[in-house]
Amino acid sequence: MTQKLTIRRPDDWHLHFRDGDIMRGVVPYTARQFARAIVMPNLSPPVTTTALAAAYRDRILAAVPEGIDFTPLMTCYLTDGTDPDDLARGGGEGVFTAAKLYPANATTNSAHGVSDVERIYPVLERMEAEGIVLCVHGEVTDDDIDVFDREAEFIARHLRPITRAFPQLRVVFEHITTSDAVDFVTGAGANVAATITPQHLHINRNAMLVGGIQPHNYCLPVAKRETHRLALRVAATCGSPKFFLGTDSAPHLRRDKESACGCAGIFNAPNALESYLAVFDQEDALDRFEGFASLHGPAFYRLPVNDETVTLERADTLVPDTLDLAGEEIVPFHAGQTLGWRMVGQAGAARA
Ligand code: NCD
Ligand code: ZN
């Protein structure tokens, strides 16, 4: 049985850092495990311009602990009023790696999102020309569509038309939760990929609703039924370059999750690698972990792979019930559970 696994240092292709004290509290968790992260722009107010993104990037870099090499990759929050020239300039200057499409009111801090996807077609056309990646929160928001069907409906209504209209645009279907999404991405061109979170590989909707409401297992898109979870596990572990790691780690304070209107989002940054690796171990796919965690993402984003390595060993890791963050409590994913792997020390030296 494999006891130790050394892989190129991974990247997180979908992450929420927030801002201020919370950001300063969560950045070290991610920087310990990942070399780079695609940082989501859904702050309040959102990161909609090159200038706002450059300033946010500086605040994140100031929060990276001494001696750790970590690069935040910034995203532009698309709105009905996005200026294609500013977006192109931000892309050209290396401030923006991607832009994020939130359908208005689909999730946390998305009120300023796009009200009608067709309205931003001129922006998508420019992104296609400039080579800026489009990250998509793929859920419709219509009241008459069941929350469990919103991802599948988004594919038919919006994603298929986008990929037809802009055949060269690189699109990442973020945090996919359904076999419909797996099938769509698998059947699309090489310019379409998807991120998969650890929670959607571990839990189905029962974890949210059985034995009382479990707010710490609530995120968007919501976990679906078991058949979908199994399809996601196959997609993540099959070796396809179209699927890669994106934690969607989304910190919310315990009191905001455990309230009458609990926030969507799961904070998984502290043990993200151990959580994913447990899945690859259960699926007998340890040899495919490096591809998912460290190779497929850079290939899609056309960035170099990391030279450093990380090592994980088979050892019990007890995930704490709560963590202290800026004097507040936050409950991590897998709270109180034991994971069978542990990351050893810091990132290692470049591989020969
Ligand atoms: C995210 C957040 O809290 O910012 N929440 C979530 O449930 N995933 C937003 C998002 O990615 O949808
Ligand atoms: Zn997210």
Q: For 266-290, what is each residue's pLDDT tens digit?
A: 999 999 999 999 999 999 999 999 9
Q: 290 near 276, Cβ under 8 Å?
A: no
Which residue lies with its CA nearest to atom 6 of ligand 1? 265
Q: What is the pLDDT of residue 108?
A: 84
Q: What is the pLDDT of residue 348?
A: 58
The three state secondary structure string of 32-85 is: HHCCEEEECCCCCCCCCCHHHHHHHHHHHHHCCCCCCCCEEEEEEECCCCCCHH
- 151 CA to middle of ligand 2, Å? 14
- 250 CA to middle of ligand 1, Å? 6
Q: What is the pLDDT of residue 106?
A: 86
248: Cβ below 6 Å to ligand 1? yes
Residues with catalytic roles: 248
Query: pLDDT below 70 — which residues of the chain?
Result: 346-352
Which residue lies with its CA nearest to atom 11 of ligand 1? 248
Which residue lies with its CA nearest to atom 1 of ligand 1? 265
Q: What is the pLDDT of residue 352?
A: 40
268: Cβ below 6 Å to ligand 1? no
Q: What is the pLDDT of residue 239?
A: 98
**Could you identify the atom of ligand 1 that is nearest to the CA of residue 219?**
7
265: Cβ below 6 Å to ligand 1? yes
39: Cβ below 6 Å to ligand 1? no
Q: What is the pLDDT of residue 9?
A: 98
pLDDT per position as a tens digit, 110-157: 889 999 999 999 999 999 999 999 999 999 999 999 999 999 999 999
Backbone phi, then psi, for 339, in 5-degree steps? -100, 150
Q: What is the pLDDT of residue 107?
A: 86
For the chain, helix (H) and strand (E) counts, in that order, are 14, 13
* Cα–Cα distance for residue pair 154/221, rounded to 1 Å: 12
Average pLDDT over the chain, rounded to an integer? 96
Ligand 1, residues 16, 109, 135: which to mutate, most atoms within 8 A of Cβ?
16
250: Cβ below 6 Å to ligand 1? yes
